[in-house]
Structure 1
Amino acid sequence: MSEKRYHFIGVGGAGMSVVAQLFFARGWELTGSDQNDSANLNKLRKMGINCWVGTRPQLITADMIIVYSSAIHPDNPEFAAAKAAGCKFMHRSQALALAAADRKFVAVAGAHGKTTTSGMLAQTFSQLGADPSFAVGGVVRHYQTGAHLGKGDYFIAEADESDASFLNYRPQLAIITNIEPDHLDNYGSPEKFEQAFFDFANCIKPGGTLIVCTDDPGCCHLVERLRTPGAATADKQNSIQILGYGIENPPANLDQFCLVKPQGEDPGSVSADFIVGEENTAVRLPMPGRHNLLNAAAVFLAAQVAGFSATDTAQALGEFSGTSRRFETRGEIEQIRVIDDYAHHPTEVEALMRQAREAAAGGKVLALFQPHLFSRTRNFASRFASALDLADQVIVCDIYGAREDPIPGVTSQIITEKMQRGSYLGNRDEAARVLAKAAQPGDLILTVGAGDVTAAGAVILQALEQRFAQ
């Protein structure tokens, strides 16, 4: 047991709770608090971690190390009490790096796709016998957790770019799924967002590896910058290898490339040939969506870097069971499937709608979308509208503000007014019941967003039960 005492403020958050689990697994003493009760908080309590709802500044003592995330405001009573007591502070990303200090650190970054990719990487390495540690911002269904302290050499982490905290990591292997501008409320411009990923690439240890999706223009631009003589910090990037993957032809200046040649897709799976050099490997994933093939290609290359064979890796990928809130089936009543998904960026929403169209197999796609953040809604309203219009019927409920205060004039209606097939209904649960009434056997209903829209799935299922019981 460590003599140090840690207190996690906001321990119920997706990122914070997994770090708390890792600290506990290492035998370190910790407590935690959160403003709201949650499934994550209950899980931590069941593990034996002392967690409470609300703030208890009177319990903060000077010998504590305070672990916090960027979502915690300085006026939080426990945060303020810790400042007054002279406590040491540690950002969540620094705490994660501490938990991984004696392992080979693998960081998965990108504006979207990083949770699925890091979860897929964790399960694949596990089934290949590596027993990795991991910290993923979602539940890896195979483990029913987002955190695990393994006995192997590798530590796999989802690296959060939203507040640039991923710059606290020093990975040996890094994956970047895409560099599509987001979080402009923090960065201010697409150029500064892209610069953060350039800085992240410079955090890779000398002799390490960067794996990027070359179908993404942002990643291609990053490769160009890194391969420009003298462009990288202290010329560090001259000592790392850069691997790429994609469906399109690769750019120059790569040390290795995985060409993805899609072969087929049905409502329950997708397959492709992965071609690296002269070697062709058939890969089949037990889930639809061509975007998942790209995620798998990143994992495929990472496994080769770690020394695993292409054949064994393909077999392990074929057993991936997914991560929570990524095209997760919540139930089915009278041949109407209810599926929940975390998509909250326009590119993610577009990919989801195409995946849903394939899974519906001729039925209609109905969606309840909850925008996440006022700034993201303002910045991408037109793109959200275009992506959502790929469904047959969409209801957009009120914005989930999360860490942000409302922005005057920014409501969900700035999305729906640009749509052909969308309507606005602010109340989430009322919108859920409207879709349940409209759906017919063979249709698929989606609940979409990074906020609390996931709870609408239960409302839809209850409404369907009542409807067909009559």
Structure 2
Amino acid sequence: MTTYHFIGIKGTGMSSLAQILHDSGEKVQGSDVEKRFFTQDALEAKNIEIMPFTRNNIKEGLTIIAGNAFGEDHEEIQEAKAQGLPFYRYHDFLGEWIGKYTSIAVTGAHGKTSTTGLLAHVLTENYPTSYLIGDGTGRGHEESKYFAFEACEYRRHFLSYEPDYAIMTNIDFDHPDYFTSIEDVFQAFQQMAKQVKKGIIACGDDEHLQHIQANVPVLYYGLADTNDFQAQNIQESAEGTTFDVFVRNNYYDTFTIPQFGNHTVLNALSVIALCHYEDMQPEQIKKLATFSGVKRRFQEKQWNRQVLVDDYAHHPIEINATIESARKKYGERPVVAIFQPHTFTRTKTFLNEFADSLKEADHVFLCDIFGSARENEGKLSITDLQELIPGAKTLQLDETQQLKEYEDGVLLFMGAGDIQKFQEAYEQETK
């Protein structure tokens, strides 16, 4: 029996895939750097062995799955190639694995992880389901009917997949280190659409997605009345958000989700459309109401009189959505944005947009840009962003106690780097 060896097992997608193979009865192990990552807890709970990187890990009888973060010069990859072992990159292996199931790829510039989590939750509540979520969560089931997975457009990795269905949440310009323009991003999604085998569920409120050409039916969802699936009468309460769904202008049913913000309604609508297309009953789909969210997406914690929120928002659109959720959930309480930009290329590309989205908060604190100095040719710094936001302050790790003054505030710690260390420092300061 082969053993799967994951090179870079602590990566979010990699740890999810390792858990899926383990749950499906396969033998799994992996290696990574020794720094602790939040993905480790789930791997350790399943007794999946994690070793430090060394070429000595590579032995006969292993099938190698390598994470995309590691180049051909990595010692374990070199050793695996030298020994002639079966070798896959993460996305290539996943592309083969999904062929066993009714597969649903969730893709888009924003909302992928939350939507995949919501879809996986509803399917799992009703059928044996495998899923891979980009927050490091994965689950396999030997009898799986469905496989729900997050499919990332970065470096066109999602073109390794030929899923039965695709949910497309939006098309936007991100990853400016790879994509050259919004047109370049659109072409990648267009190519992906041609590979889908049964149907596409696309957000019709997104002007780019309106132009997607496919060889399968495209169902549109959104808030505009031109969509096949439309949400109306959106109401917020302490429990969350309730809305009516109309299918081709006919009332279908009323649904409640425990999240806030129009982007969360759209995510839910995409799941409702897919489940409806697969002939699920409204009562089955209403399991939406018990979804508790995914890691690092509006992950809340009560802290004295404040609410601390950990969120992966690293693009202006996502910052807007996170601030909107805070406003809708917490009404009059002051919203404090603590933001760490991720990569110099993204910061430079979206400098003005970042400023505009952060101005939606009541108070703004900026942490140094998370990225490699090698990438920073133009000597960009956090003060370039600070100058565009009246009243914004910079924040160092040893200065977090100043956040205490917003005593009933909602503190949004946002970013894709290591912004969590600022929240941890603040909690240490104010215990």
The TM-score bracket by the shorter chain reads: over 0.9
Give yes or no for the alignment of 1:434 onto 2:406.
Answer: no
Aligned residue runs from structure 1 range 222-233, under 5 A: 222=212, 226=213
SS for the counterpart of 1:318 is helix
Q: Which runs of 5+ in 2 are unaligned?
A: none
SS for the counterpart of 1:100 is helix
Corresponding residue pairs, total: 429
Give yes or no for the alignment of 1:451 onto 2:427.
Answer: no
Q: Supply the distance in 2 between the matched residues of 1:280 and 1:43 (Cα, whole angstroms).
A: 38
Asked if the contact 1:247–1:260 (Cα under 8 Å) also holds between the matched residues in 2, the reply is yes
SS for the counterpart of 2:36 is coil
Aligned residue runs from structure 1 range 368-447, under 5 A: 368-401=338-371, 405-425=375-395, 427=396, 429-435=397-403, 437-440=404-407, 442-447=408-413
- Post-superposition shift, 1:34? 1.1
Q: Which runs of 5+ in 1 are unaligned?
A: 140-144, 227-236, 252-256, 466-470
Mark the CA change 1:415 to 1:154 in structure 2 (over 3 Å): closer, same or farther: same
- Post-superposition shift, 1:94? 2.0
Q: Which string of whole-angstrom CA distances, capped at 9 and with x for unpartnered residues, describes residues 103-150 of structure 1?
A: 1110000011011101100111122x21211000126xxxxx443436
Q: Supply the distance in 1 between the matched residues of 2:415 and 2:311 (Cα, whole angstroms).
A: 7
Aligned letter for 1:132?
Answer: T
- Post-superposition shift, 1:318? 1.7
Q: Supply the distance in 2 between the matched residues of 1:248 and 1:421 (Cα, whole angstroms).
A: 37
- Seq. identity, %: 31
Aligned letter for 1:439?
Answer: Y
Aligned letter for 2:188?
Answer: A
- Post-superposition shift, 1:309? 1.7
Give the equivalent residue in structure 1 for 2:50: 51
Give the equivalent residue in structure 2 for 1:232: none
Q: Supply the distance in 2 between the matched residues of 1:366 and 1:418 (Cα, whole angstroms).
A: 17
Q: TM-score, normalised by structure 2?
A: 0.94
Asked if the contact 1:266–1:288 (Cα under 8 Å) also holds between the matched residues in 2, the reply is no
Mark the CA change 1:284 to 1:42 in structure 2 (over 3 Å): closer, same or farther: closer
Mark the CA change 1:301 to 1:6 in structure 2 (over 3 Å): closer, same or farther: same
Give the equivalent residue in structure 1 for 2:205: 215
- Post-superposition shift, 1:270? 1.4
Give the equivalent residue in structure 2 for 1:356: 326
Larger deviation: 350-359 or 73-82? 73-82
Asked if the contact 1:109–1:160 (Cα under 8 Å) also holds between the matched residues in 2, the reply is yes
CA RMSD after TM alignment: 2.1
Asked if the contact 2:105–2:151 (Cα under 8 Å) also holds between the matched residues in 1, the reply is yes
Q: TM-score, normalised by structure 1?
A: 0.86
Aligned letter for 1:76?
Answer: H
Q: Supply the distance in 2 between the matched residues of 1:398 and 1:101 (Cα, whole angstroms).
A: 43
Give yes or no for the alignment of 1:133 onto 2:123.
Answer: no
- Post-superposition shift, 1:258? 0.5
Aligned letter for 1:416?
Answer: Q
From 65, 68, 75, the counterpart of 1:67: 65
- Post-superposition shift, 1:404? 7.9
Asked if the contact 1:184–1:193 (Cα under 8 Å) also holds between the matched residues in 2, the reply is no
Larger deviation: 6-15 or 57-66? 57-66
Aligned residue runs from structure 1 range 150-165, under 5 A: 151-165=143-157
Mark the CA change 1:341 to 1:384 in structure 2 (over 3 Å): closer, same or farther: same
Give the equivalent residue in structure 2 for 1:323: 294
- Post-superposition shift, 1:330? 2.4
- Post-superposition shift, 1:7? 1.8
Mark the CA change 1:28 to 1:407 in structure 2 (over 3 Å): closer, same or farther: farther
